[in-house]
Amino acid sequence: MARQGETAGFGELVKTLFWAAVIATGIHSFLFEPFYIPSGSMVPTLLVGDYLIVNKFAYGYSRFSFPFAPDLFSGRIGGHLPKRGDVVVFRPPGQLDEDFIKRVIGLPGDKIQVTNGQLLVNGQPVPEADAGAYVDDSSGAPMAGRAFTETLPGGRVHQILRLPGTNGDFANNTPVYTVPAGDYFMMGDSRDNSEDSRFMDGPVGFVPAENLVGPAEVIFFSIDLRHPFWEVWYWPFEIRWGRMLHGIS
């Protein structure tokens, strides 16, 4: 038979755990959310094994801000609109149970096209400069490519990656897309390794404002897992110390 003190102690533990869960859920829903990079679609900006902090309140709140995306209301409440060049976590219209991360390239009303790998926004080529050779090993086998520094309309500067032998692919020669009101056009920084808004028959297409979760702001941890998890002696050498607390641009 449990004594009174033990019962009271168990009750306090349950109450503490309950409020801890409420606070954690509140932070996750309203303030910040961690996000893991599982693929190479945003190389060289983001690498597989990066852990990010996503700002949940910057764009305000939609049903996708909350766990399980409850259908409680439509649209967004509060916040400001995304800017061109923001790196954003969102739920793609064709795959609402998954989080994707891409860069905002087209705003509502913009005309977006890619011709021979060159990005055009509203009919104007986006300036870019050669940033040198880059080897992408995010898919296992290393692929030699070339990085370029791209300057979007409005002045946002970031790097993109092109891989060889792909200029004839659809991703590098698209029709002109006119972004509908309330929607956004997303692209990965690894231009030849990203399923994004260029593929209208895929899960992304045009992304409604309601589907945005928030901008990715900082890398808080990064690890290059080339060895099995149990080989703990490799851990210190696999952590990318230079990417810790690295801002995302």
Assess whether pLDDT exceeds 90 at residue 1. Answer: no
Q: Is 63 helix (H, G, I), strand (E, B) or coil?
A: helix
* Average confidence score pLDDT of the chain: 86
- The CA distance from 20 to 24, in Å, is 6
- The CA distance from 12 to 10, in Å, is 5
Contact between residue 36 and residue 216 where contact means Cβ atoms under 8 Å apart:
no
Assess whether pLDDT exceeds 70 at residue 27. Answer: no
- The CA distance from 205 to 183, in Å, is 10
Least confident of 32-46, 60-74, 92-106, 130-144: 60-74
List pLDDT tens digits, range 208-227.
999 999 999 999 999 987 77
Q: How far is CA 187 from the centre of its chain?
A: 10
Mean pLDDT in residue range 39-50: 95
Least confident of 10-14, 46-50, 165-169, 235-239: 10-14
Q: How confident is the model at residue 166 (pLDDT cuts 50, 70, 90)?
A: low
The answer to whether the peptide bond before residue 38 is cis (omega within 30 degrees of 0) is: no
Which residues are known catalytic residues? 41, 102
List pLDDT tens digits, range 122-159.
999 999 999 999 999 877 788 899 999 999 999 999 99
List pLDDT tens digits, range 89-113.
999 999 999 999 999 999 999 999 9
Tokens of 14: 């349950």
Residue 19: the pLDDT is 42
Domains in the chain, CATH or no CATH each: 7-69+78-247 (2.10.109.10)
- The CA distance from 42 to 120, in Å, is 19
How many Cα atoms are found within 13 Å in the side-chain-facing hemisphere of 224? 16
Assess whether pLDDT exceeds 80 at residue 185. Answer: yes
- Using CA atoms, how far residue 207 sits from 35, 117, 137, 210, in Å, is 19, 22, 29, 8
Q: How far is CA 230 from the centre of its chain?
A: 29
- The CA distance from 189 to 155, in Å, is 16
- 144 contacts: CB under 8 Å, gap ≥ 6: 133, 134, 135, 164
Sign of CA dihedral 13, 19, 25, 28: negative
- The CA distance from 209 to 184, in Å, is 7
Assess whether pLDDT exceeds 80 at residue 31. Answer: no
Residue 168: the pLDDT is 60
How many Cα atoms are found within 13 Å in the side-chain-facing hemisphere of 74? 2
Phi/psi at 27 (nearest 5 deg)? -65, -45
Assess whether pLDDT exceeds 90 at residue 69. Answer: no
- The CA distance from 132 to 146, in Å, is 6
